[in-house]
């Protein structure tokens, strides 16, 4: 699975404004469809209070965050699956992302044109879902055409795989024709593996982003409630953001100015912080830390990784020569204040090759050179 977040939605819902605030890179954000044609890509630091607290407890020369990649993809319109509005190009860009952040317009503004002439979050979500499902139906149809030849193959391995794939493709096709995304299918791990090379758009996890105005920051927007109802039916997460406000915050030069601005707006942190963390987690990514006098650093690993695999994130030599991992959880340090007290409390552990690293572990790897 690609390790990036694709920002998707209809034209003029605020995708490029949100992307610009995320990355502090000014993407085009004009009031007309298809202003964004080629996808903008930005590498964004992942906000993590634990990293800040580590730095407050362990003296160090520098602090380094982990990052996640966001891709701003041009607005889709009805008919995109048939090539409308550069649809084929845009769908290809979505296919290359790991998770979809679907931005939904949840504010009224007569000065900003809506591609369908009115604000209707349920309709807007359905428009995107239908176009992605139609694109997937075409992909499945092409694969089923090839499968007919494979089912007549003399190659036993190819024939066995084709026989296993045929009923799965039929199930997916029926599901998509009903307008439901592939990710809602109850398939086994083996069945999903058979579908992996199709790179289905509707199999990607989705995070809904409600772009509200300032009046909607308290969660009172009726449009947001509609999005949450849709998301609840899918088991998807929802993030609330005021794109215009986030753009203003991004222009402020100092931490003090940003803190004062957030306080005036009644916000504990920028809405983008939650979006970044949710996108990071939705990709199946987690964080472990290394801490010492030279640097404190957050490292990205895939959920479920073993200690040697996590060590390999730092350097392949660490993985090849892995002996053990000396580790404790960052929350234990925050609670006990010093590494010595963590050790005295029996929270410092020696873990071997089978250990599954946990989000928030602070690790010192021991290895053979």
Is the pLDDT at 86 greater than 60? The verdict is no
Partners of 302 in the beta sheet? 285
pLDDT at 76: 66
pLDDT of res. 112: 87
User: What mean pLDDT is predicted for residues 288-306?
Assistant: 97
pLDDT at 350 over 80: yes
- Which sequence spans correspond to the domains of the chain? 4-281, 304-367
Span 304-367 CATH architecture:
Roll (3.10)
The pair of structure tokens assigned to 340 is 């010595």
pLDDT at 318 over 80: yes
| Confidence at residue 117, expressed as pLDDT on a 0 to 100 scale | 83
Q: Residue 87 pLDDT > 50, yes or no? A: no
Kindly state the percentage of the chain with pLDDT values over 90.
74
Average pLDDT, the chain: 90
Give the pLDDT score at 115: 80
Nearest alpha carbon to residue 7 among 342, 177, 331, 239:
239
Cα–Cα nearest to 17, from 243, 341, 308:
243
The Cα 284–Cα 19 span in angstroms is 21
Question: Strands (DSSP E) along the chain, which ranges?
Answer: 4-8, 40-45, 62-64, 67-72, 99-105, 206-211, 237-241, 285-291, 295-302, 322-329, 349-351, 361-367
Question: In which residue are the tokens 């239908």 written?
Answer: 130
| CATH fold for domain 4-281 | Rossmann fold (3.40.50)
pLDDT tens digits along 204-253: 999 999 999 999 999 999 999 999 999 999 999 999 999 999 999 988 98
Torsional sign, CA 15, 252, 278, 309: positive
DSSP state, residue 364: E
Q: Which of 65-74, 84-93, 205-214, 320-329 has the lowest mean pLDDT?
A: 84-93
Query: How far, rounded to the nearest angstrom, does the alpha carbon of residue 94 sit from its chain's CA centroid?
Result: 12
| pLDDT the model gives residue 1 | 65
pLDDT tens column, 9-63: 998 899 989 998 988 744 444 433 333 435 688 889 999 999 999 999 999 999 9
């Amino acid at each position: 699975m690609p390790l990036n977040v694709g920002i998707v939605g209809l034209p003029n819902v605020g995708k490029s404004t949100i992307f610009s605030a995320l990355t502090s890179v000014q993407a085009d954000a004009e009031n007309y469809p298809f202003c964004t044609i080629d996808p903008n890509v930005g590498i964004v630091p992942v906000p993590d209070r634990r990293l800040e607290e580590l730095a407050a407890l362990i003296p160090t020369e520098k602090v380094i965050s982990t990052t996640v990649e966001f891709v701003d993809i041009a607005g889709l319109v009805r008919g995109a699956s048939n090539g409308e509005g550069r649809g084929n190009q845009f769908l290809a860009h979505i296919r290359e992302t790991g998770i979809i952040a679907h931005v939904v317009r949840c504010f009224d503004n007569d000065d900003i044109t809506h591609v369908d002439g009115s604000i209707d979050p349920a309709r807007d979500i359905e428009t995107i879902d239908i176009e992605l499902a139609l694109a997937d139906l075409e992909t499945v149809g092409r694969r089923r055409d090839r499968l007919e030849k494979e089912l007549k193959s003399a190659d036993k391995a190819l024939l066995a795989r084709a026989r296993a794939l045929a009923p799965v493709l039929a199930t997916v096709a029926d599901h998509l024709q009903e307008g439901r995304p592939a990710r809602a299918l109850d398939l086994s791990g083996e069945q999903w593996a058979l579908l992996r090379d199709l790179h289905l758009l509707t199999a990607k996890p989705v995070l809904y982003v409600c772009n509200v105005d300032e009046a909607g920051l308290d969660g009172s927007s009726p449009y947001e409630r509609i999005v949450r109802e849709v998301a609840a039916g899918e088991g998807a997460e929802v993030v609330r953001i005021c794109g215009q406000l986030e753009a203003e915050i991004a222009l402020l030069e100092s931490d003090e100015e940003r803190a004062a601005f957030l306080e005036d707006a009644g916000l504990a942190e920028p809405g983008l912080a939650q979006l970044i963390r949710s996108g990071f987690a939705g990709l199946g990514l987690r964080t472990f830390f290394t801490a010492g006098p030279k640097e404190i650093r957050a490292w990205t690993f895939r959920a479920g990784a073993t200690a040697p695999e996590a060590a390999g994130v730092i350097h392949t030599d660490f993985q090849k020569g892995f002996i053990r991992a000396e580790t404790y959880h960052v929350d234990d340090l925050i609670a006990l204040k010093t590494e010595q007290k963590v050790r005295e409390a029996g929270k410092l552990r020696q873990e071997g090759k089978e250990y599954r690293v946990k989000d928030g572990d602070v690790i010192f790897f021991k290895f053979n050179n």
